[in-house]
Structure 1
Amino acid sequence: MESLIARIRTELAPFHGRMDAVWRLLASCTIVIVCSMTLQIPMLSLSLIMVFFTAQENTVLSRMSAIGLLAGSTLAVMASLILLMFTIDYPMLRILGAAVIAFCGMYFLRTSKLGAIGFLVALLVVNAQAMADNYADPDVLTRLQLWVWVATTYPVVVAMTIQRLFRPALPVNLLVSEYSRQLVEIEHQLEARITGGKPPTLHGAQVARGALALQRQLAFASLGHKERTAARAAAVSRLHAAAAQLARQAPFEASEDERLQMIAIRNACTTLRQCLGHETPFTFAATTATAGTGGARNAILREMERALRAATAADSDEEQPAGTANNGASGAVMPAAVPRVLYAKFAFKAILAAMISYVIYTSLQWPGIGTATQTCIILALPSLGATTHKGLNRLLGCLLGSVAALVATVFVVPHLESIVGLLAMALPVIAVGAWIAAGSPRSNYIGVQMMFAFALAQLGSFGPVTDLTEIRDRLLGIMLGLSVSITVYTLLWPEREGQALKTALARLRKAVAACAHADHHSIGAARLQAWSLLNQCRELQARVAMEPGWRDRNARRISNLLAKAEESLVAQQART
């Protein structure tokens, strides 16, 4: 129970940029709600979720997401209209045609970097079948499909505009901010040792997150001096890891030579932090202090000086070694070649689960649980563990959103008189969902689903909503879709990531060994690769743990191996 509470606190903890992301989402959602309610644009819940899908961690990803969503929405509406044009009087052909289109979309999801377009086409085409079942008039269906296009495109434009105008998350700014954050932590650690105070906590997991954050922002930042910037990132990561090793040292009274060294390093870190944001050259002159009695401490301080000299070399005109310019991308776990038939099997399983759910809710004549088919498309992920993880997140998010909608229906809706009251009711729930959605990939989908469940129950019409059956039916539909998806993915060609985890662990061992033998020029890039592999192994472990048949003994053994790898990466800072 304590570990669960600690994990929840970690997932909800504030970090730099999280509040800005929440404000951007709130501003976008407020504009969308006012526009949809004023102009009576239907499907407000769909519009709001498009806002969440558009807003990403930086402007580059947001722009790519916006282009994919606009293209996917347009293609989906066009495909739905053409399909309805020729099969409106033939339900069986209409359903089979929708299944074929959705199959192509899901196949495209696995085979292309623009797979989000295929995902959106499959989702909206399947959703169009529910409309065709409920409305037999072709004119009404045509208008509804056109409204779908409006409801899914204008929120993307609104969200993208807000992303660019309101404290934009530019990759360059995020990179400089991450530099500054890590250097400030290093300065605080050194200051505590200089003054004899209690040093702040700095452990290996923080070093790993910092190294990966630098690596990720480097991938998106369009900078003129890529090699120099990558070398700076490696140098800062080395400093950060050395500071973590210093934090592990027992309290000690620094000698005069050590104090002079630490003061010089602290001042150099402050200067480097000021230089990074203004592209001014950085220089560092090593101290001439003699070695003291603490061999490990002096090894750490020498490593910090070497990292600062590497940052100085990065700003000089000298040619950098090839290893220094590597931002760690080569350390990624590259998937083996996958036969195309496996992608076809994946698409078939997704459509089969959706069609089974469709047959169930139409046979029961219960259209309220039609969200089951959408759930099957949304949960279509390559591995069984990833599908289970996302399904549980979807269910938890729906529960939170449904509870919020239930409380609002009983206590708030009877007192609403204007759109101001509607905003006062909806925005706090959207803010909570936005805070969760701006977090780590492990839990961010909970926030998206929480917001969507609340909006579907409370913002689905242009007047007060007092019917509670919508909340009940949506929960049952998600549970049905989750059950069908997991059953199909478990029984039919299950894709497991156990072998991928073994391969990643083997690469991690080699990366840790490479760090131990790397020279002072390539050590920064080698450590970035190792930290990246360590993070990928942990993500794989979290997904594999949800696969049926995974034994607790394996989980404990792998957890111990990853903990030892992290300890080894941090401890290597003390080597001479």
Structure 2
Amino acid sequence: MATRASEQRPAAPLASFLELLAPSPGRLEFALRLALICALATLVAETYQTPEAALTAYVAFFVMKPDRATSVIMSLAILILITLIISFVLVVSTVVIDYPLWRVAAMAVLSFGLLFVATASKLRPIGGILALVVAYALDLLSNAQIGELATRGLLYAWLFAGIPASVSIAVNLLVGPAPRRLAERALAHRLAVAADVLATSAARSREVLGECLAEGSGEIQKWLKLAAAEKSSAAADIAALRQATASTTQILLLVDLVERSAAGTWPPPLRHRVAGTLEEMASVLRAGGYPVEIALPLEDTEPALPPEGAAILAEMKEALAHFAEPPLPEAPPPEHPPTPAQPQPAGGFFLPDAFTNPEHVQYALKTTAAAMFCYVVYTLLEWPGIHTSLITCYIVSLGTAAETVEKLTLRILGCLVGAAAGLATLVFVMPSVTSISGLLTIVFLAALASGWIAAGTPRIAYAGFQIAFAFFLCVIQGAGPGFDMVVARDRVVGILFGNLVVYAVFTAIWPVSVARRIDPAIASVLRQLSAMILAAGHSKRYAIAGEAHATMGTLRQDMGLLRYEPGSIRPARDWLAARTQATQEIADLQGPLLLSASLDPVQAHRIAHRLDRLADGDGDRQAASGVGIGSPFAAWRQDLPDISTRAMRRHIDAHLVSLEQALVHESSEGQDGRADHAPA
């Protein structure tokens, strides 16, 4: 059997860090495009001498997306929204500008209202950039004593968002990659990863395979949808690539099954032949096409495979044979008559829980409180140089305490690295810079390095954003090259102070635990597995299996965040151990359940019923009392001529029993997973 994730030895810190910086498809192209936008935005800001050129360059990190279509749409949306927001702030400023008390009150009310809308509506994906612009506008409002200056400052606030958004539109329309190209590149990468796992079975390759399954195919499907909207590819090609996406998910699932099975499931020659075929398919996708009519090369003396290996090979041949051939609609079997589709509620601007979930209000209040505290501090200290603390509060605030603590290290590390690089540039490089081209070269190189980090996984991306933020604030000080070390020092102090204030507020006031998401995620995976067993068609079954793996990836990520939570809200060790075991049991169940497609409808319904019962919490009570454990599978143990089928069903039964026992709630735990006492 393959080594469990929990049993794998962790990599050395340096090796793990280097893996995070390793090249990946499209990473260099993304970083180069981002660096170009930052440099051009700086050129425009320096040419027209707009204030806060550093923030103008930094906004590019928020408007840039991997593909050109999303980047252009994001930039246009930001231009429209910023125009509306600045117009509203301008109207308010004309009323309160002459009254300091009302001006501060207006800052707090506007901050709360805009943050609530940003987190409780469909604006959430661009909430970061909206918060940044709002922070800058409020900072200008707080320092403006004359209405004319306030008006001009707010117009400059529009420019520092409008300039990078406009530059982003131009650059992406000229050199941005097409969504179809990104989809082909992602599919080629996944096939190459599967080939590497089969050929080498290296630990790092298996880890990347798990990451691909956890990511799901949602982003690839989104790119193909954008490609269809662009009308830049034939409809037949888009349909073929959509099927290739589904087939790639199936191939990844089957390769994962091979790795989790016994060592002799597939002998090395077969693994290498399949790996070679997958690598050839990846080459076709890299060249801009998609493979068709794929068949595995067969040997004259094909060794006999164990039943499980033969079943996986048959599924693999099916996936390869119809890799890019959209299937005909699969009719449901007679045992499963189609159910009428339920009408979906119409989506609105606000999220369904916008006005019922108190966390939206609490998030807006906490972020506003942190920002206003920073404002009061640097105002009372008469230290306006650290006004970056107010802006930082809006950039770094997160929803849960665990995410806040986890990202704090990345933010502080990124700030220190960016500040050190910025100060070194001021001392050793800037004195020799005599033209705007030299400054633009420095901005380009810094944005390139920061963009490379920001394009990585969430484990390191935040550091890239913070490096760029600190570096730009140190180096870009006004019209032309700047040399003032005091300005750089104050801005860095403001960033660090803002980070610490956000950490203190988000861990002390209404702290939100990640634990509340664990049990719903486990229930969601169980329901997906239940739906997978009852799925009417082959393609639908594998599609649901891919969704279950993506949900498991999110679940594991949330469980990893739990160790960052303060002891006052962290779940008890027993609670965490039970959920960890349940997660592993579910992972061990996914493969056998996927291969159990030949179950008769009665047995399939029994398995699905048991999974649904566990998802609803009824299985916990039965497991605790010992009633009914294993009973739905009693018929399996009688009159089963196929030994492998009998063994697989016993395997499923055993893991379900362990899952039931793992999910027994301790009497001292609440429904949200919090312990009555913090672990020692």
Candidates 326, 338, 342, aligned match of 1:315: 326
**Correspondence for 1:539:** 557
Whole-angstrom distance in 1 between the partners of 2:358 and 2:195: 54
Candidates 299, 310, 314, aligned match of 1:298: 310
Candidates 156, 161, 181, aligned match of 1:173: 181
SS in 2 for 1:375: helix
31-40 vs 226-235, greater mean Cα deviation: 226-235
Distance 1:162 1:569, change over 3 A: farther
SS in 1 for 2:91: helix
Q: Is 1:401 aligned with 2:418?
A: yes
What amino acid sits opposite 1:216 in the alignment? E
**Correspondence for 1:427:** 444
Distance 1:186 1:220, change over 3 A: closer
**Correspondence for 1:522:** 540
Distance 1:466 1:253, change over 3 A: closer
Whole-angstrom distance in 2 between the partners of 1:205 and 1:561: 23
Candidates 505, 515, 528, aligned match of 1:498: 515
**Correspondence for 1:195:** none
SS in 2 for 1:442: helix
Higher relative contact order (CA 8 A, sep 6+): 1
Candidates 174, 183, 203, aligned match of 2:191: 183
Is the Cα–Cα contact under 8 Å of residues 271 and 282 in structure 1 kept in the other structure?
no
**Correspondence for 1:47:** 56
SS in 2 for 1:13: coil
Q: Is 1:357 aligned with 2:374?
A: yes
- Cα deviation for residue 473 of structure 1 reads 2.4
Distance 1:38 1:338, change over 3 A: closer
**Correspondence for 1:57:** 66
Count of residue pairs the alignment pairs up: 555
Candidates 127, 131, 136, aligned match of 2:140: 131
What amino acid sits opposite 1:471 in the alignment? A
**Correspondence for 2:385:** 368
- Cα deviation for residue 185 of structure 1 reads 4.3
Is the Cα–Cα contact under 8 Å of residues 265 and 304 in structure 1 kept in the other structure?
no
Distance 1:141 1:337, change over 3 A: closer
Whole-angstrom distance in 1 between the partners of 2:207 and 2:141: 55
343-352 vs 427-436, greater mean Cα deviation: 343-352
Unaligned 5+ runs, structure 1: 193-197, 324-329
Distance 1:339 1:464, change over 3 A: same
**Correspondence for 1:23:** 32
84-93 vs 221-230, greater mean Cα deviation: 221-230
Candidates 495, 499, 512, aligned match of 1:478: 495
Q: Is 1:79 aligned with 2:79?
A: no
Identity of aligned residues (%): 26
Whole-angstrom distance in 1 between the partners of 2:132 and 2:36: 27
SS in 1 for 2:423: helix
Whole-angstrom distance in 1 between the partners of 2:38 and 2:112: 32
**Correspondence for 2:433:** 416
Distance 1:215 1:283, change over 3 A: same
What amino acid sits opposite 2:563 in the alignment? A
The TM-score with structure 1 as length reference comes to: 0.83
SS in 2 for 1:443: helix
**Correspondence for 2:254:** 242
Is the Cα–Cα contact under 8 Å of residues 415 and 496 in structure 2 kept in the other structure?
no
Distance 1:545 1:58, change over 3 A: farther
- Cα deviation for residue 8 of structure 1 reads 1.9
Is the Cα–Cα contact under 8 Å of residues 303 and 574 in structure 1 kept in the other structure?
no
Is the Cα–Cα contact under 8 Å of residues 204 and 570 in structure 1 kept in the other structure?
no
Q: Is 1:70 aligned with 2:87?
A: no
Whole-angstrom distance in 2 between the partners of 1:493 and 1:571: 42
What amino acid sits opposite 1:305 in the alignment? K
The TM-score with structure 2 as length reference comes to: 0.72
Distance 1:271 1:548, change over 3 A: closer
Is the Cα–Cα contact under 8 Å of residues 179 and 236 in structure 1 kept in the other structure?
yes
What amino acid sits opposite 1:22 in the alignment? A
- Cα deviation for residue 354 of structure 1 reads 1.8
Whole-angstrom distance in 2 between the partners of 1:112 and 1:175: 28
What amino acid sits opposite 1:534 in the alignment? M
Is the Cα–Cα contact under 8 Å of residues 497 and 540 in structure 1 kept in the other structure?
yes
Is the Cα–Cα contact under 8 Å of residues 349 and 488 in structure 1 kept in the other structure?
yes
- Cα deviation for residue 67 of structure 1 reads 2.5
Distance 1:454 1:571, change over 3 A: farther
Is the Cα–Cα contact under 8 Å of residues 188 and 283 in structure 2 kept in the other structure?
yes
Render the CA deviation track for 1:519-572: whole Å, top value 9, x for unaligned: 744331122112111111123224433221225836566556545544554677
- 5 Å-filtered alignment, 1:250-399, equals 250=263, 263=273, 267=277, 270=280, 274=284, 277-278=288-289, 282=293, 292=304, 294-311=306-323, 314-315=325-326, 318-320=328-330, 339=356, 341-399=358-416
Whole-angstrom distance in 2 between the partners of 1:352 and 1:138: 26
Render the CA deviation track for 1:117-159: whole Å, top value 9, x for unaligned: 6665554344334334545343333322222222220211111
Is the Cα–Cα contact under 8 Å of residues 73 and 120 in structure 1 kept in the other structure?
no
Whole-angstrom distance in 2 between the partners of 1:536 and 1:321: 32
**Correspondence for 2:464:** 447
Whole-angstrom distance in 2 between the partners of 1:84 and 1:535: 46
Whole-angstrom distance in 1 between the partners of 2:540 and 2:141: 61
- Cα deviation for residue 221 of structure 1 reads 1.7
Distance 1:403 1:414, change over 3 A: same
- Cα deviation for residue 339 of structure 1 reads 0.8
Render the CA deviation track for 1:344-385: whole Å, top value 9, x for unaligned: 333222222222222222112111222222222223333222
Distance 1:118 1:31, change over 3 A: closer
- Cα deviation for residue 48 of structure 1 reads 0.9
SS in 2 for 1:311: coil
- Cα deviation for residue 425 of structure 1 reads 3.2
